[in-house]
Chains A and B, each alone.
Chain A
Amino acid sequence: MKSIKDHLMFILPLMAMLIGIEFILVFNRITSSYENKLKNEYAILVVSQKNLTTPYLRSIDDNIDSVEAMNREDIAKEVTSGMQDAALAAIMKDLPYFYRVHLTSYMSLEGLKKISAELKKVNGILNVEIFGENYHSKHTIFRLVKMLLNIFIVMLFIVSIMLVIKQMQVWQLAHKDRMKIMEIFGAPMMLRSGILFKVAIIDAIIATILNMVIFLFIKSKWSQNSDIDFVKNNQDMLFNVSDFFILFVTAIVIVAISVFVVAINTREVPEG
């Protein structure tokens, strides 16, 4: 019973840390996918008297990814709806070119304003519309959610680190006598801490597997029944095979650091 409790006291904080790391991995994948979606859906509208090309606009600002020309005829038809063909021809003659300008990343409003100002300086460009208000509110919500989740992960980490430190103190108490006796009889540090390392490695493996099970459950069961469309549509992002290796390596690193600290703290310092 005591042994199970001893294991759980390390497995639980380790799991909390690994959950935090898995959150970061999943969250990064989801946010970058969402950011990409927002970026792809968004475009600056440019009205110009002359023809614009992607290389030309890229030379003005390297945040510009591509330029898509809008069909002038469709616009003219919409404007001249119900009028005679002569009116359409007249409008087509004077109608400027319309472009959707796509960006390389999901930028802040300040960034958009800067691009807008640069484009307005170009000879022949009549107007630039960045749809600032709508863009700004989406961008702010996105950044806020990202920040809140980052704060949550940091808090989770702090609490987990405190629990791991507590467990290191327990280990120190439990293994101090044995490690000191072994040192008196000439055991090197690797051998003295070997037993503790074996125990901790087992805990690391258990914590990693439990974490994997939790995230695989979320991926296969919870996300299917979820009301959140985005989660449903991005099920694949919830747990990747590579995540298992990242979590395992992280758990081993935490274990190695913890055992090393305990071994250092219990080593003998000659008096005199």
Chain B
Amino acid sequence: MASIISATNLTLAYEKGKHIIINDVTFNIEQGEFVFITGPSGSGKSTLLKSLYGQIKPREGMLNVGGFDMSRIKKKQLLQLRRNIGIVFQDYKLINEWTVEKNVVLPLIITGYSLDVQKVQAEKLLSHVKLSDQANKYPLELSGGEQQRVGVARALSKNPFLILADEPTGNLDEFSSGVVWDLLENACDQLNATVVVVTHKIPTIFNIPYRHFIIENGGVHEVH
């Protein structure tokens, strides 16, 4: 299997290296794998995730995502990479002035897909996340669980090769959490996307094989 994420002696830090978060870690994630990253609060889970979509640059070592060296990646290349990554945030990060439907197809708008394609894809995804009747509403008119389902639908809209999710069920009730996990499982199982999820708690019922990394004291350890 092709390696989608490859970290070698990776160090991540804030404030120009003064505050080291992840220290000298090495790991590999292959295409189609589902990975959970857990760890105590402030351990650097979200920081590691941010480095995977280029919001934080490696301080030392090597980090390769989808064939791009994240230490040397140029702005244009980074935007190109991000167009093929689906990201889900704990705080949803939806555009409140846009309708649910438009939010879902944001990655398609960015890539320049036609309105017809956007419409078809929005209908399909909103039906998957059980929000077909909410297409013309605005995010602030929805509950937290519904907003997160919109966020997941957006992340899936362009069939990304990599899905990154930061505490995707952190604020959700049981029903919405179940829908979100099902969607992420399906993306991995049926679309062969690599899924990396940062979470406090791995769901008790999970139907596909997964890997589990724990971040502690700046190190990343895999649980076997």
Check if A191 is an interface residue, CB within 8 A of chain B. yes
A271 to B16, CA, bound (A): 8
Mask: chain B, 82-115; 1 = CB below 8 Å from A; 0 = not: 1111010000011111100000001100100000
B47-105, CB < 8 A from A: 50-51, 53-59, 76, 78-85, 87, 93-98
Q: Interface size for chain A: under 10, 10 to 19, 20 to 34, or 35 or more residues?
A: 10 to 19
The smallest C-beta distance from A193 to any residue of chain B, in angstroms, reads 13
Mask: chain B, 137-157; 1 = CB below 8 Å from A; 0 = not: 000000000000000001000
Check if A184 is an interface residue, CB within 8 A of chain B. yes
Check if A156 is an interface residue, CB within 8 A of chain B. no
Complex contacts, A181 vs chain B, CB 8 Å: 93-95, 106
Known A177-B95, A191-B110, A271-B14; judge A185-B55 contact (CB<8 A). no
Check if A268 is an interface residue, CB within 8 A of chain B. yes
Check if A55 is an interface residue, CB within 8 A of chain B. no
Check if B12 is an interface residue, CB within 8 A of chain A. yes
The smallest C-beta distance from A3 to any residue of chain B, in angstroms, reads 11
Q: Interface size for chain B: under 10, 10 to 19, 20 to 34, or 35 or more residues?
A: 20 to 34
Complex contacts, A182 vs chain B, CB 8 Å: 95, 106, 110
Check if B25 is an interface residue, CB within 8 A of chain A. no
Contact B79–A186 (Cβ < 8 Å): yes
Known A185-B87, A185-B107, A191-B110; judge A270-B57 contact (CB<8 A). yes
Known A181-B95, A182-B106; judge A272-B82 contact (CB<8 A). no
Choose from A185, A186, A272 the contact partner of B13 (Cβ within 8 Å).
A272
The smallest C-beta distance from B73 to any residue of chain A, in angstroms, reads 9
Contact A272–B56 (Cβ < 8 Å): yes
Mask: chain B, 147-191; 1 = CB below 8 Å from A; 0 = not: 000000010000000000000000000000000000000000000
Contact B110–A186 (Cβ < 8 Å): yes
